[in-house]
Structure 1
Amino acid sequence: MTTIPRSPRLLVLSSALLAVAGAALLGMPHGQEPTAPTTASTAHTATDSSSAATPLPASDPTAAAAASATPAASTPSAVESALPPHGEGVAGDRAIQRNLEAAWPADLPAADERELLTAGRALLRADATGVGREKWPGVFGDSEAVAPAFATARFRIQAAIARRDGSPTKAVVHLVWAGMDRGGTFTDLRITDWHFTRTNTLKGASTWTPQPRT
């Protein structure tokens, strides 16, 4: 279900993305039209409860303060590198990934981070497009009961990181993604979190188990 971010980490993520947008707009020469809409204009609520997205809060005062405090880019090339063009592909996604990694330095072993990122990406794709929901019956339950809200062909994960979630046995995967909903509206910079807990298998090994979305 689409909701306003409630966790401090989601607020910081939203603030970071809005700060990038603010830096780009402040760096535009006077009188020049911006080449891409602001984050607020790209974030729309999903049309179906099966969407895992949390749109960026345009009115959040913390995000607005972060954006206004960001120094302006000094050259056009700096502006272009700071703000990915709206609807752009891999080139824009790399900038978002760098911002995520800068906002939250890595704090998990490399093997755990890889496992979490693989699972988080697959869970998001399953939630948004319906592909692969049967792999996680404990998360999605009756996957046939909820129709997918986004088209598989127009779904793209723009950036993702995995970090601890307040405990060595808990972790969260932060994802930024883009997609076209069933109404034909394409939006990017959507935000989704998937939470995991570390559990032990019968053979004594440990693995990360996704938690159902609430």
Structure 2
Amino acid sequence: MTTSPTRSPRLLLIATVFLVVAGVVLLTMPHAPSGPASSVAPRATDSTSVPSAAAPSGRSPQTGAPASATAATATAEPIGASALPPHGEGIAGDAAIQKSLENAWPADLSAADEHTLLAAGRGILRADATGIGRTTWPALFGDPDQAISPAFATARFRIQAAIARSDGSPDKAVVHLVWAGTDRGGTYTDRRITDWYFTRTSTKGATTWTPQPRT
């Protein structure tokens, strides 16, 4: 028995109509999102976190530390670093330098000892830099007629700040000085640092602080 050739076009037509209908149905159906909804909306920023860029130079945020503690470290240190006045500020900036020294090294000497040491340290520095008053400390500067010529002009010499603190022992101290001056070549430089060391001796109840020669 042979298949009628007239049925083939009818089957093709039915198949074509079925495919068209199926395609229309697929096109009209709503598409589901390709990913979870949370991936579309931006994540809210955590207000308690501290970016690593806020950490002080050369130091990373503390691992496991509370965010508030890390933030305090990140903001307090740059403020302290910027407390010093810029170079060339002049007398107006000296108070800030003095305060910075006092904050960095809390006082640990009696008021009387500190006063004595500061007066001596200032006088020795002035004598060393400008030549004025070297005869007061012959053990340090020797014969004034053979002393080295002063390297700084008296007119532009200025002690910007000074503190006196103990130096590892009740009978040892150091005077830390910050100063400015113009050298013999005419170059002005401020925030120079010089330390003078002292030892304490007691004779018959009298206390004397003796400056030590530079080594």
* In 2, Cα distance between equivalents of 1:131 and 1:102: 31
Quote the residue 2:46 is aligned against.
Answer: none
* In 1, Cα distance between equivalents of 2:134 and 2:167: 24
Quote the residue 1:138 is aligned against.
Answer: 139
* In 2, Cα distance between equivalents of 1:90 and 1:96: 10
Could you tell me which of 175, 186, 189 is aligned with 1:187?
Answer: 189
Quote the residue 2:107 is aligned against.
Answer: 106
Could you tell me which of 163, 166, 181 is aligned with 2:165?
Answer: 163
* In 2, Cα distance between equivalents of 1:132 and 1:116: 16
* In 2, Cα distance between equivalents of 1:126 and 1:171: 20
**What is the letter of the counterpart of residue 160 of structure 1?**
A
* Change beyond 3 A, Cα 1:71–1:91: farther
Quote the residue 2:10 is aligned against.
Answer: none
Shift of 1:99: 0.8
Larger Rg: 2
Deviations 1:134-154 (Å, cap 9, x if unpaired)? 000011112332000000000
* In 1, Cα distance between equivalents of 2:123 and 2:117: 10
Deviations 1:133-175 (Å, cap 9, x if unpaired)? 0000011112332000000000000110000001000000000
CA-based RMSD: 2.8
Quote the residue 1:210 is aligned against.
Answer: 211
5+ residue gaps, structure 1, are 1-65
Deviations 1:12-47 (Å, cap 9, x if unpaired)? xxxxxxxxxxxxxxxxxxxxxxxxxxxxxxxxxxxx
Shift of 1:87: 1.8
* In 2, Cα distance between equivalents of 1:177 and 1:67: 28
Quote the residue 1:176 is aligned against.
Answer: 178
Quote the residue 1:30 is aligned against.
Answer: none
* Change beyond 3 A, Cα 1:72–1:90: farther
Shift of 1:71: 4.9
SS in 2 for 1:152: coil
After TM superposition, list the pairs within 5 Å mapping 1:108-123 onto structure 2. 108-123=109-124
**What is the letter of the counterpart of residue 208 of structure 2?**
T
* Change beyond 3 A, Cα 1:194–1:67: farther
Q: Structure 1 stretches (4+) deviating beyond 3 angstroms?
A: 66-73
* In 1, Cα distance between equivalents of 2:152 and 2:113: 29
* In 2, Cα distance between equivalents of 1:143 and 1:67: 48
Question: May I ask how many residue pairs the two structures share in their alignment?
Answer: 148
* In 2, Cα distance between equivalents of 1:83 and 1:116: 25
Q: Structure 2 length as normaliser, TM-score? A: 0.62
After TM superposition, list the pairs within 5 Å mapping 1:1-214 onto structure 2. 71=74, 82-144=83-145, 145-201=147-203, 203-214=204-215
Shift of 1:72: 6.3
